[in-house]
Amino acid sequence: MPYTEHQPDKGGYKGSAKATIPLPFANPRMEEPTEQPADASNVAKPDSQAGKQGEKGRVRSFHFTLHTIFATADIFPDNSANITTSTSDPYTAARKALDRDGFVVLSALLFPSFDLESLRAAASRSVSAARSGKWPYIRTLPKQFPPWPQNASNGIWGVQHLLHPSNPDHLTFAKSYFDEELLRYVAALIDCDPDDLTMELYNMLVRPDHDFALRWHRDDIPATATADEELERLRKPGWHAQWNLALYDDSSLVLIPGSHKRARTDKERDADPYEPSLPDQITVNLKAGEVAFYNNNILHRGVYSCEKERMTLHGSIGTKAAGTQRARNVLQHGVGEWAKEWDLSQCRGEEWVERAKGMRERLVELGRESGDVGFFSKDE
């Protein structure tokens, strides 16, 4: 199906800010105290850069056992994945880490069926099409939330709708989105029956044409929310899992561990939206092939350099149990408009197709039930 002129993510325009931040490298704690990291030299050094910026005088000691590291809420080792092939029951471990910290990093070795080379080749073609105006579904600078105007004169920071059937590479992306092992993690993280999983979004976050940053935000709670409103929403289940799969090393995502469970502190609330250094923030430091799942209502932002290649697949999958509560977050991206036309009977022979069919049907049903969902934050 050829894509049309219609850009579902059409919309307004708002100023942004540039921020280049030296941040503490950090990662979630390992689940099992007895497990040794692959390389102990990767354990985070005292956070000299962050110390300069925002945590002056705060000295972190690393002369304790790994057991202490796991038990210490604000210290994260500077390797990457905390869920590895040697983690016993990695699904439960991933879920516990996500619940506790609001994010979790999974080793590339847990996903042997991801074909990084094919994904990179497909990603390069999709980015070239997007940059040259041949692919209309794009995230344009300097806008943070959908809908995005198609005017790409300031460049792009994302490519939308990788699974759209008019993308010549959509089947390559589909293979990774409907990957059996990935879906096992997703079902474990949402705590739902695999047969209830619902297709949502598969986009790609890319190197912008000039340095660019997103403001601190929670995806589904406006900055204007009172503390009580924040807490009320944060106490409800998220009904989905969201992840970044890095095709190249990626240190763009910055977040505050644990902030998915609490209202903003006064300091966070009063901070500049682009504040380069908030207490306890960390950079999620992904190596190529690693997957970071994170709670989309954790306090987070993106900080992007135009000099560093970025092709990070950015997906979300929901569950039927969410009903229409999750609808706006998903359907505001315009996925409902083409998903109902996606004819998966064309893809016979691919092992992921049967899983995809049910998931796509549940998305279409969500669109039918929800009607017009509007946008989370139309103008910014």
Ligand X SMILES: O=C(O)CCC(=O)C(=O)O
With tokens 């106490």, the residue in question is 235
Question: How many residues belong to the chain?
Answer: 380
Which tokens in the block code for residue 151?
Answer: 């005017």
342-351's contacts with Cβ under 8 Å and 24+ in sequence apart are 342/163, 342/164, 342/165, 343/165, 347/171, 347/174, 350/171, 350/174, 350/175, 351/180
Residue 83 DSSP class: B
Which CB atom, from 26 or from 205, has the smaller least distance to ligand X? 205
Which CB atom, from 246 or from 344, has the smaller least distance to ligand X? 246
CA 30 vs CA 27, 65, 302: distances in Å: 9, 13, 24
252 binds ligand X (CB under 6 A): yes
13's CB contacts (< 8 A; 6+ apart) are 142, 143, 149, 379
CB 47 within 8 A of CB 55: yes
Which CB atom, from 214 or from 247, has the smaller least distance to ligand X? 214
358's CB contacts (< 8 A; 6+ apart) are 195, 197
Which CB atom, from 160 or from 167, has the smaller least distance to ligand X? 160
291 binds ligand X (CB under 6 A): no
Spatial separation of the C-alpha atoms in residues 376 and 297, rounded to whole Å: 13
297 binds ligand X (CB under 6 A): no
Using Cβ positions, the residue closest to ligand X within the complex turns out to be: 302
Which CB atom, from 165 or from 318, has the smaller least distance to ligand X? 318
Q: Tell me the closest approach of the beta carbon of residue 112 to ligand X, in angstroms.
A: 24
Q: Tell me the closest approach of the beta carbon of residue 41 to ligand X, in angstroms.
A: 27
How many residues contact ligand X, by CB under 6 A? 8
Which tokens in the block code for residue 79?
Answer: 């390797």
CB 250 within 8 A of CB 286: yes
276 binds ligand X (CB under 6 A): no
Q: Tell me the closest approach of the beta carbon of residue 262 to ligand X, in angstroms.
A: 19
Q: Which of 214, 247, 278, 359 binds ligand X (CB under 6 A)?
A: 214
253 binds ligand X (CB under 6 A): yes
Which CB atom, from 148 or from 185, has the smaller least distance to ligand X? 148
Task: Give the CA angle between residues 328, 331, 332 to the nearest 5°.
Answer: 70
Within residues 176-205, the interface with ligand X by CB under 6 A covers 205
Residue 139 DSSP class: E
Q: Which of 219, 220, 249, 361 binds ligand X (CB under 6 A)?
A: 219
211 binds ligand X (CB under 6 A): no
Which CB atom, from 244 or from 295, has the smaller least distance to ligand X? 244
Which CB atom, from 187 or from 253, has the smaller least distance to ligand X? 253
- Backbone angles phi and psi of 260, in degrees to 5: -80, -5
Spatial separation of the C-alpha atoms in residues 223 and 297, rounded to whole Å: 11
Q: Which of 218, 300, 326, 333 binds ligand X (CB under 6 A)?
A: 300
Instruction: Please give the full DSSP string across 151-194, using - where no structure is assigned.
Output: --TT-EEEE--TT-TTSTTHHHHHHHHT-HHHHHHHHHHHT--G
Q: Which of 172, 244, 277, 285 binds ligand X (CB under 6 A)?
A: 244
Q: Which of 302, 315, 334, 336 binds ligand X (CB under 6 A)?
A: 302
Which CB atom, from 69 or from 284, has the smaller least distance to ligand X? 284
The site string for ligand X over 105-144 (x = CB under 6 A, - otherwise) reads ----------------------------------------
Residues of the shown chain interacting with ligand X in the complex, contacts defined by CB under 6 A:
205, 214, 219, 244, 252-253, 300, 302
